[in-house]
Structure 1
Amino acid sequence: MSVQKKNGFQFPVYRISRLPNGLRVATAEMPHMTSVSLGIWAGAGSRYEPAPLNGVSHFIEHMLFKGTRRRSPLEISQAVEGIGGYLNAFTSEESTCFYSKARHECFEDLLDVLTDMYLHSRFAPEDIRKEREVIKEEVAQYYDEPQQYVLELLNALQWPAQPLGRPITGTFHTLDGMNRRHLTSFLHEHYRSGNTLICAAGRITHHQALKAVQAMAGKFATGKPPAFVPATARHQGPVVHLHWRKTEQTQFALGLRTCSRHDPARWALRLLSVVLGENMSSRLFQKLREDSGMAYSIQSSVSFFADTGDLVIAGGLDAEKLGPALEVIWKELEDLATHALRAAELRRARDYLLGQIDLSLENTESQMMNLGEQCLGLDGFMKPDEVKAALSRVTAAEMRAVAARFFRPDRCSLAVISSDKSLGRLALRELPGNPQLVQSLSA
């Protein structure tokens, strides 16, 4: 196994192969590790769903744990946990991943279990009925967590009447409308070899992984899966959604529509998010928590999709402090759009991201996740050094120009969950432009 070393540290060796049927195999060789993380990725998620089937991708994710022709649900768990590993999955807007981690010598065991789930799940009607109720409990749990539900309200504002604006889990109504035919038809249409990736990171060679996958590649259905519904530009911000609910704390999420993962501006946006609220030395954490004591939680994040993206600032505070907090936030957004970042602040933000990248190199699961996301999202892979170089090239002037491009009232949406019904007028007053107000009551 070849090894890349720098300053004594062994860097992973990345390789990607595409088989004749379109199935891809990607590996991050980490010979110094004792574990291997393995994921099977499907390039399909909630963006691919028609409105009546909202949540079907997530429903399928659950059903793949409910038994195959060879294994019961318990036997699936025992096959991985019995060798000291663990098994999990997630659904996002553009992909679904089933993954596991164990000692490196158990790689073929993990591959056997995951491919069995991916290819041979039973979708028994009784299991579907029971799992529907389980997922409805998951939906209810998110609804009962205002800090989570406010993000769903924000998505609906930013992406109205389109898949990106719908909850990944679906709703009680759409879940009740799904049957076995809906699940299996969506699975057969979207889980094809051409958009499936098998990704491994850890103490394994690319040859070893490729040979194991080739032995079962013929079992994957061929064909090109349907495309997702593109995001529309119908958003006319700023828009405010005030959701009345009896809560002790007001939760808010301010979103700004930005750019896709293919836009060069994404590097500046990653740095701008750090400057705003990704760590304790960020501007908003210092001003809203440390200096004024307005909020306990305040953070920013960025998301990039195939054709669009967003930057979100979210937090929790007392209702009467929402107005002052929004004023502080918008002033910081305006400052970043009109003034170049100071050299020391840019250096700290960049060094933070570079350090986070280095820390992720030590974990086989994060390596597998990063490799899988890039292979599906970019149809290729940027090595960590290439990502770090792209971040290092961003200038203060470029960050100001990107902030001026995106930090604008017409790109803004604000979702608020609170028991104070007067916050609607307050939120409208603090946001620039000509905000529209939408109000709703808890069910």
Structure 2
Amino acid sequence: MSDTPFRMNDDARELIVFPNGARLVLDPMPHVQTASVGVWVDAGARDESVENNGIAHLLEHMAFKGAGGHSARELVEQVEDRGGILNASTDYERTGFYVRCLAEDAGDMLSVASSLAMDQQLPENELEREKGVVIQEIGEASDQAEDLVFELAQAAAWPNHALGRSVLGTEASLKDIDCAQLRGFIDQNYVANRVVMSVAGGYERASIIAQAEKWLTPLKAGAPALRIQPQAGNKAIVRERDTEQAHLVLSFPAPDSRTDKRFAARLFEEIFGGGMASRLYQEVREKRGLAYSIDAYFDSYSDAGRFNVYCGCDPDDAMDVQKIVKDLWHEFAATGPTPAEMSRARATQKTQFAMSSEGPAARGSSGAYELFTFNRLINLPEALGEIDRVTMRDVQECVKQSINGLPTASCVGPASCLDAAHAFVS
């Protein structure tokens, strides 16, 4: 491998690949006065075992307890004293540390984000305290029926797999995690070829390059993520709660995030339950008045996906709602979308892509997502062209394949509504 970074331009964006496999995306937006800088790692809850479930998220928390030679207070003061916004996130397939700031501060803020990702101090005396914070977060999610029903939906869709476990972990799985295990997770997963540094907005290129070379060059390469493809579930998981509403998630299989069918899936999501003109909204809320909120979303990973419908309704109406959703799903598979629905969904999706391309934060995270998912950058004209190329038949075939798969469901609410979830999968 060459000793110098490899550069590739994609319109305004520039991709720099370091000899160790680490990557830097530069996305200049000269007309804006702010920047979004961050470091993303191709590691998350999918890279955990049952025993250490929650370690990726706990590591994200612990990074803020000291990094790059700075204390927890010094880290946030470095950012907030200049008006920046520091944050981080952990999901199933990646973890990110990022800052929104003024353009003139981009280089310094990138150093802060990089230290969180690549130079965590992991103080032993903070670990138990931070576990307690995460356990409070777990409790808060469990107390909220709207959050709990999605956790149960994951478990129903991907049984006996990391995708079916909570990103937060459990009190039991967090109990025995120590700092040595956190360092082991870093050594295995936070390796050069699984790291993307991404900067979008206004910034001085030389200062960004200097920070990238400082932080990315020393990283060691490692093995790619080894992830077992999940097997779809076929059951309902319910929890009885004394709530005013029944909370339902109804699901069928969907394409993964890497397939060329993903754009057809997005159009189906929009037509079926994406907005107030969608079939679900019009039938369930406008025509029948059975729910205040009902929507569909396309949830995808590198090797799997689900179409999900969420609805909050009166417990006495839950059985009717699940039947309407199932009937509309099968009707869509049989007849496909109308030309008017395709036109509206196409316009909505293209507008959403275009809008996201105008914000530094969305552009910064998109660069990392594209490299992790497709191993290349995808520009806006290409994405818009892919949306335009989707046919009515493509969308219908996508839905036909979904209903040929196994349905799953989850429900949280009074005992009287729980059978609705079981009815959906029967």
Fold-level similarity (TM above 0.5): yes
The alpha carbon displacement at 1:12 in A equals: 7.3
SS at match of 2:280: helix
Q: Secondary structure in 1 aligned to 2:26?
A: strand
> What secondary structure, in the 3-state scheme, does the structure 2 residue paired with 1:334 have?
helix
Matched, 1:344 2:343: no
Say if 1:83 and 1:428 are closer, same or farther in 2 by CA, change over 3 A.
closer
Is 1:387 matched up with 2:383?
yes
**Corresponding residue SS for 1:380:** coil
Matched with 1:440 is: none
Q: Which residue of 1 aligns with 2:327?
A: 331
Which residue of the partner structure matches residue 58 of structure 1?
A: 57
Q: Is the 8 A contact 2:42 2:225 kept in 1?
A: no
CA contact (8 A) 2:38 2:114 kept: no
Is the CA contact (8 Å cut-off) linking 2:316 and 2:417 kept in structure 1? Answer: no
Task: Provide the C-alpha distance between the structure 2 equivalents of 1:41 and 1:357, rounded to a whole number of angstroms.
Answer: 21
The answer on 1:141 being equivalent to 2:136 is no
Counterpart of 2:130 in 1: which secondary structure? helix
1:120 is aligned with what amino acid?
D
> What residue in structure 2 maps to residue 8 of structure 1?
none
Q: Give the superposition deviation at 1:139.
A: 0.5
For 2:116, the equivalent position in structure 1 comes to 117
Measured after TM superposition, the shift of residue 44 of structure 1 is 0.4
Aligned position for 1:224: 222
In the TM superposition, what is the alpha-carbon distance from 1:37 to its structure 2 partner?
A: 0.3
User: What is the root-mean-square deviation in Å for CA atoms of aligned residues?
Assistant: 1.8
Provide, for residues 170-216 of structure 1, a one-character-per-residue CA deviation record: whole Å limited to 9, x for no partner. Answer: 01110112111111111121101111110000013666533431233
Counterpart amino acid of 1:225? A
User: Residues 48 and 163 of structure 1 are in contact (CA less than 8 Å); yes or no, is this contact kept in structure 2?
Assistant: yes
Q: Report the count of equivalent residues.
A: 418
- Counterpart Cα distance in 2 of 1:407 and 1:382: 30
Equivalent AA in structure 1 for residue 133 of structure 2: V
Task: Spell out the pairing of 1:261-276 with structure 2 (5 A cutoff).
Answer: 261-276=257-272
What residue in structure 2 maps to residue 73 of structure 1?
72
**Where in structure 2 are the equivalents of 1:231-310 lying within 5 Å?**
231-233=229-231, 235=233, 237=234, 239-310=235-306
Aligned to 2:409: 414
- In structure 2, do the counterparts of structure 1 residues 314 and 234 end up closer, same or farther at CA, with 3 Å as the change threshold? closer
Contact 1:29 1:205 in 2 (8 A): no
Contact 1:230-1:307 at 8 Å conserved across structures: no
Which amino acid letter does the alignment assign opposite residue 14 of structure 1?
A: R
- Kindly, what percent of the aligned residue pairs are identical? 25
SS in 2 for 1:141: helix
1:366-404 CA-partner distances (Å, limit 9, x unpaired): 111111111112111111111111011111111111110
Work out whether 1:405 is the aligned partner of 2:404. Answer: no
Task: Sort the Cα spacing of 1:260 and 1:234 in 2 relative to 1 into closer, same or farther, 3 A.
Answer: closer
Please say if residues 255 and 412 of structure 1, whose CA atoms lie closer than 8 Å, have aligned partners that are also in contact. yes
Which SS does the other structure have where 2:289 is aligned? coil
CA contact (8 A) 1:38 1:111 kept: yes
SS at match of 1:99: strand
Distance 1:76 1:29 in 2: 26
Q: Which residue of 2 aligns with 1:103?
A: 102
The one-letter code sitting in structure 2 at the alignment partner of 1:417 is: V
- SS of the counterpart of 1:299? strand
SS at match of 1:199: strand
Q: How does 1:308-319 map to 2 (within 5 A)?
A: 308-319=304-315
Superposed CA offset, 1:228-252 (max 9, x none): 33223353x3x22221122121101
TM-score, with normalisation over the residues of structure 2? 0.94
Amino acid at match of 1:411: L
Q: SS of 1:345's equivalent?
A: helix
Show the counterpart of 1:194. Answer: 193
2:128 match: 129
- Could you say if the C-alpha distance between residues 355 and 176 of structure 1 is closer, same or farther in structure 2, counting changes exceeding 3 Å? same
Shift of 1:89: 0.3
Cα displacement (A) at 1:361: 2.1
Q: Cα–Cα, structure 1 residues 326 and 422, in superposed 2: closer, same or farther, change >3 Å?
A: closer
Question: Aligned to 1:368, what secondary structure does the other structure show?
Answer: helix
Structure 2's unaligned 5+ residue stretches are: 1-8
Report deviation, 1:267: 0.9
Write the distance in 2 (CA, Å) between the matches of 1:389 and 1:243: 44
Runs ≥4 residues deviating over 4 A: 205-208
The TM-score normalised by the length of structure 1 is 0.91
Q: Which amino acid aligns with 1:55?
A: G
* Distance across 2 between alignment mates of 1:365 and 1:22: 24
